Amino acid sequence: MRKKIIFFIFFVIEAFYLVSCIRLFTPEERLRFRRKPKKECEYNFIIEENQKINLLKQDIGNLILFENEIYYDIGETQYKNNDTYNYILNEVINFMQNNQNAILIIEGHADTLAYKSKKVNYMISVNRALIAKDYIIKYIDEERVKTYAYSDLKPRYDTNTDRNRRVDFIALKCMQEFEEYDNFYSNYMTDFLIEIGITNR
């Protein structure tokens, strides 16, 4: 009987101590103790051996590079080189199917050769990205495919101006990277979008 009493007292003291320790932490901190956060961004992209693509690490995400590029005529939103266009988009689809957590950013770009107005140039880059998206979302969940337009504000080439008429494909690993990208775009483009009347923020 005496041993039971001692055991009970010891149990009560231990329980009181444990509860006191738990109260030192916030609910968020206690939640972290119960389950470790998933490191959703920490993985390597899968690229098949026969895929002729490279990933170029950027500040946010990875630019998907191909041997050839998609070309557009001046002021056009429909691609010029059909075979290359279909090949590149199918490779992007294959990549996204092999990387189920990835988010795809399609960037539309324009050049200054067909410059009529800032708004016209911007809408050209919008539609270039949207047309590519319309093809890709036949095979990939639309929630994983986002489009952004830059008009002529982000040229890749200084001298080959016509090659700045393009779409770029950016692979992001997780939602956190997408939020960082979206924040970057907002900071980069807001003043321009206000100027051309697309947004009033």
Q: Is residue 39 part of a domain?
A: no
Pairwise pLDDT comparison (11 vs 115), residue with the higher score: 115
pLDDT in tens, 139-184: 999 999 999 999 999 999 888 788 899 999 999 999 999 999 999 9
Query: Within its chain, how far is the Cα of 55 from the centroid?
Result: 14
- C-alpha pair distances (Å), 191 with each of 111, 117, 188: 19, 16, 8
**pTM of full prediction above 0.85:** no
**Total domains in the fold of the chain:** 2
Q: How far apart are the C-alpha atoms of 128 and 126, rounded to whole Å?
A: 6
Q: Is residue 23 part of a domain?
A: yes
Q: Is residue 118 part of a domain?
A: yes
- For 119, how many CA atoms within 13 A lie in the half-sphere containing its CB? 6
Q: Is residue 47 part of a domain?
A: no
Residues 176 and 98 in one domain: yes
In the predicted model, is pLDDT for residue 106 greater than 50?
A: yes
Residues 11 and 109 in one domain: no
In the predicted model, is pLDDT for residue 2 greater than 90?
A: no
Residues 14 and 85 in one domain: no
Q: Report percent pLDDT > 90 for the chain.
A: 64
DSSP state, 197?
T
Segments in the chain forming alpha helices (H): 2-23, 27-34, 82-98, 118-136, 175-195
Q: Is residue 201 part of a domain?
A: no
Strand ranges of the sheet holding 166-172, from the earlier edge strand across to the other edge = 53-57, 62-66, 166-172, 103-109, 145-149
Residues spanned by the domain of 21: 2-34
pLDDT in tens, 67-87: 988 989 988 999 988 899 999
